[in-house]
Amino acid sequence: MSITPTTSAVNLINTAQQKSADAAQVIAKLPIQNNEVGSSEFKSGDIIKPVLSLKEAEFETSAAVKLLEADKKTIGSLLDISA
């Protein structure tokens, strides 16, 4: 099995997407605040981990895009050399 930058980037994007979906599901299941003021059921600490997961997924997606851009630039350079 050949591991290419494109394969790594796609895997990273898929991982980030799954992480985002899981975090969004956790956030969606948090109790709704009464009158948007707050309730005794809602703890602000409950939202920290999913929000950090979303931020981590954003960084992973950004890294994957940079991998794809570098791969594209490398392929372009190789085509210029061989032409």
At 7-32, the pLDDT tens digits run 999 999 999 999 999 999 998 888 76
pLDDT digits (tens, 9 = 90+) for 34-43: 555 555 566 6
Say how far apart CA 7 and CA 12 lie, in whole Å: 9
Q: Looking at the whole model, is its pTM more than 0.75?
A: no
Angle between helices 48-82 and 5-29 (to 10 degrees): 160
